[in-house]
Amino acid sequence: MRYGAMYGPDVTFLGVERCALAEPASFAGADVVIVGAPYDGGTSHRPGTRFGPMAIRTTDYLGHNGSRPSLALRVDALKDLRVLDAGDVEMYAGDEMESHAAIEEAVHTITASGAIPVVLGGDHSIALPDARGVARHYGFGRVSMIHFDAHADTGDIEFGHLYGHGQPMRRLLECGAIRGDRFLQLGLRGYWPEPDTLDWMAEQRMRSYEMTEIVTRGFDECLAEASAIAMDDCDGVYLSVDVDVCDPGHAPGTGTPEPGGISARQLLDAVRGICYRLPVVGVEIVEVSPPYDHAEITAALGNRVVLEALSGIARRRKDAESGHTWDPAQPLLDGR
Amino acid sequence: MRYGAMYGPDVTFLGVERCALAEPASFAGADVVIVGAPYDGGTSHRPGTRFGPMAIRTTDYLGHNGSRPSLALRVDALKDLRVLDAGDVEMYAGDEMESHAAIEEAVHTITASGAIPVVLGGDHSIALPDARGVARHYGFGRVSMIHFDAHADTGDIEFGHLYGHGQPMRRLLECGAIRGDRFLQLGLRGYWPEPDTLDWMAEQRMRSYEMTEIVTRGFDECLAEASAIAMDDCDGVYLSVDVDVCDPGHAPGTGTPEPGGISARQLLDAVRGICYRLPVVGVEIVEVSPPYDHAEITAALGNRVVLEALSGIARRRKDAESGHTWDPAQPLLDGR
Amino acid sequence: MRYGAMYGPDVTFLGVERCALAEPASFAGADVVIVGAPYDGGTSHRPGTRFGPMAIRTTDYLGHNGSRPSLALRVDALKDLRVLDAGDVEMYAGDEMESHAAIEEAVHTITASGAIPVVLGGDHSIALPDARGVARHYGFGRVSMIHFDAHADTGDIEFGHLYGHGQPMRRLLECGAIRGDRFLQLGLRGYWPEPDTLDWMAEQRMRSYEMTEIVTRGFDECLAEASAIAMDDCDGVYLSVDVDVCDPGHAPGTGTPEPGGISARQLLDAVRGICYRLPVVGVEIVEVSPPYDHAEITAALGNRVVLEALSGIARRRKDAESGHTWDPAQPLLDGR
Amino acid sequence: MRYGAMYGPDVTFLGVERCALAEPASFAGADVVIVGAPYDGGTSHRPGTRFGPMAIRTTDYLGHNGSRPSLALRVDALKDLRVLDAGDVEMYAGDEMESHAAIEEAVHTITASGAIPVVLGGDHSIALPDARGVARHYGFGRVSMIHFDAHADTGDIEFGHLYGHGQPMRRLLECGAIRGDRFLQLGLRGYWPEPDTLDWMAEQRMRSYEMTEIVTRGFDECLAEASAIAMDDCDGVYLSVDVDVCDPGHAPGTGTPEPGGISARQLLDAVRGICYRLPVVGVEIVEVSPPYDHAEITAALGNRVVLEALSGIARRRKDAESGHTWDPAQPLLDGR
Amino acid sequence: MRYGAMYGPDVTFLGVERCALAEPASFAGADVVIVGAPYDGGTSHRPGTRFGPMAIRTTDYLGHNGSRPSLALRVDALKDLRVLDAGDVEMYAGDEMESHAAIEEAVHTITASGAIPVVLGGDHSIALPDARGVARHYGFGRVSMIHFDAHADTGDIEFGHLYGHGQPMRRLLECGAIRGDRFLQLGLRGYWPEPDTLDWMAEQRMRSYEMTEIVTRGFDECLAEASAIAMDDCDGVYLSVDVDVCDPGHAPGTGTPEPGGISARQLLDAVRGICYRLPVVGVEIVEVSPPYDHAEITAALGNRVVLEALSGIARRRKDAESGHTWDPAQPLLDGR
Amino acid sequence: MRYGAMYGPDVTFLGVERCALAEPASFAGADVVIVGAPYDGGTSHRPGTRFGPMAIRTTDYLGHNGSRPSLALRVDALKDLRVLDAGDVEMYAGDEMESHAAIEEAVHTITASGAIPVVLGGDHSIALPDARGVARHYGFGRVSMIHFDAHADTGDIEFGHLYGHGQPMRRLLECGAIRGDRFLQLGLRGYWPEPDTLDWMAEQRMRSYEMTEIVTRGFDECLAEASAIAMDDCDGVYLSVDVDVCDPGHAPGTGTPEPGGISARQLLDAVRGICYRLPVVGVEIVEVSPPYDHAEITAALGNRVVLEALSGIARRRKDAESGHTWDPAQPLLDGR
- The answer on pLDDT for E305 being more than 80 is yes
Predicted-complex ipTM score:
0.97
Which residue in E208, E212, E197, E185 sits closest to E124, CA to CA? E185
With CA atoms as reference, the chain F residue closest to D5 would be F159
- The answer on pLDDT for C118 being more than 90 is yes
pLDDT of res. E147? 98
- The answer on pLDDT for B79 being more than 80 is yes
For residue range D223-274, list pLDDT tens digits in order: 999 999 999 999 999 999 999 999 999 999 999 999 999 999 999 999 999 9
Q: Count CB-CB contacts under 10 A for residue E2.
A: 16
Q: Is residue C289 classed as helix, strand or coil in its secondary structure?
A: coil
pLDDT band at F160 (very low <50, low <70, confident <90, very high): very high
- The Cα–Cα gap between F334 and F324 comes to 15
Sign for the CA dihedral angle at E242, E247, E249, E254 comes to positive
- The Cα–Cα gap between B71 and B326 comes to 12
The segments of chain A whose pLDDT lies below 70 read none
Contact F42 D93 (CB under 8 A): yes
The topology under which CATH files domain A13-322 is Arginase; Chain A (3.40.800)
Among D3, D6, D11, the strongest candidate for a mutation testing the E interface, having the largest count of E CBs within 10 A, is: D11
Q: What percent of chain C has pLDDT over 70?
A: 100
Contact D64 E10 (CB under 8 A): yes
Give residue ranges of C with CB < 8 Å to any E CB: 6-7, 40-43, 45-48, 50-51, 90, 92-96, 98-99, 125, 159-161, 163-164, 291-292
pLDDT of res. A1? 74
Q: What's the N-to-C CA distance of chain B in angstroms?
A: 45
Domain ranges of chain C: 13-322
Contacts of A40 in chain B (CB under 8 A): 47, 93
Q: Following CA atoms D220, D224, D230, D232 in sequence, which dihedral angle do they give, to the nearest 10 degrees?
A: -170
- The Cα–Cα gap between D258 and D236 comes to 30
What average pLDDT score do residues B178-206 get? Answer: 98
Q: What percent of chain C has pLDDT over 90?
A: 99
Q: At what angle do helices E264-277 and E219-230 cross, to 10 degrees?
A: 30
Q: Following CA atoms B151, B153, B158, B162 in sequence, which dihedral angle do they give, to the nearest 10 degrees?
A: 170
- The answer on pLDDT for E323 being more than 80 is yes
Q: Is residue D293 classed as helix, strand or coil in its secondary structure?
A: coil
A87's CB contacts (< 8 A; 6+ apart) are A2, A3, A4, A5, A10, A12, A18, A20, A35, A36
Contacts of D191 in chain B (CB under 8 A): 62, 68-71, 307
- The answer on pLDDT for B129 being more than 80 is yes
The neighbouring-strand residues paired with C36 are: C88, C120
Contacts of C268 in chain B (CB under 8 A): 259-260
Contacts of F45 in chain D (CB under 8 A): 7
- The Cα–Cα gap between C300 and C311 comes to 16
Q: Are A43 and A11 in contact (CB under 8 A)?
A: no
From residue F42, alpha-carbon distances to B175, F48, F161, F186 in Å are: 61, 11, 9, 22
**B14 compared with D1, residue with greater pLDDT:** B14
- The answer on pLDDT for E214 being more than 80 is yes
pLDDT of res. A203? 98
Contacts of A261 in chain F (CB under 8 A): 264-265
pLDDT of res. D1? 74
Contacts of F56 in chain A (CB under 8 A): none
pLDDT of res. B204? 98
Q: At what angle do helices B264-277 and B219-230 cross, to 10 degrees?
A: 30
Which residue in A257, A237, A233, A235 sits closest to A245, CA to CA? A257
What average pLDDT score do residues F81-87 get? Answer: 98
- The answer on pLDDT for B1 being more than 80 is no
Contact B94 A42 (CB under 8 A): yes
pLDDT band at E2 (very low <50, low <70, confident <90, very high): confident
Which residue in F83, F48, F10 sits closest to F253, CA to CA? F48
- The Cα–Cα gap between A271 and A269 comes to 6
Torsions phi, psi of B204, nearest 5? -75, -5
pLDDT of res. F1? 74
Among B92, B98, B163, B298, the strongest candidate for a mutation testing the A interface, having the largest count of A CBs within 10 A, is: B92
Contact E189 A72 (CB under 8 A): yes
H helix or E strand, kind and range, residue E43: none
- The Cα–Cα gap between D305 and D301 comes to 6
The Cα of A197 is separated from the nearest Cα of chain B by a number of Å equal to 22
From residue F85, alpha-carbon distances to B24, B316, F12, F35 in Å are: 31, 42, 6, 6
Q: What percent of chain E has pLDDT over 70?
A: 100
What average pLDDT score do residues F146-162 get? Answer: 97
The Cα of D143 is separated from the nearest Cα of chain E by a number of Å equal to 35
What b/e readout covers A133-148, taking b as 16+ CB neighbours within 10 angstroms? bbbbbbeebbbbbbbb
pLDDT of res. D31? 98
Contacts of B254 in chain A (CB under 8 A): none
The neighbouring-strand residues paired with C148 are: C186, C241
What average pLDDT score do residues F154-165 get? Answer: 96
Which residue in E299, E271, E309 sits closest to E53, CA to CA? E299
Q: What percent of chain D has pLDDT over 90?
A: 99
pLDDT of res. C98? 98
The segments of chain D whose pLDDT lies below 50 read none
Instruction: Name the residue facing B212 among C72, C76, C307 (closest C-beta).
Output: C72
Q: Are E113 and E20 in contact (CB under 8 A)?
A: no
> A with E: how many residue pairs have Cβ under 8 Å apart?
115
For residue range F295-313, list pLDDT tens digits in order: 999 999 999 999 999 999 9
DSSP single-letter state for residue C63: -
For residue range B33-75, list pLDDT tens digits in order: 999 999 999 999 999 999 999 999 999 999 999 999 999 999 9
Q: Which chains are adjacent to chain C, needing at least 3 Cβ pairs under 8 Å?
A: A, B, D, E
- The answer on pLDDT for C1 being more than 80 is no
pLDDT band at E1 (very low <50, low <70, confident <90, very high): confident
> A with B: how many residue pairs have Cβ under 8 Å apart?
75
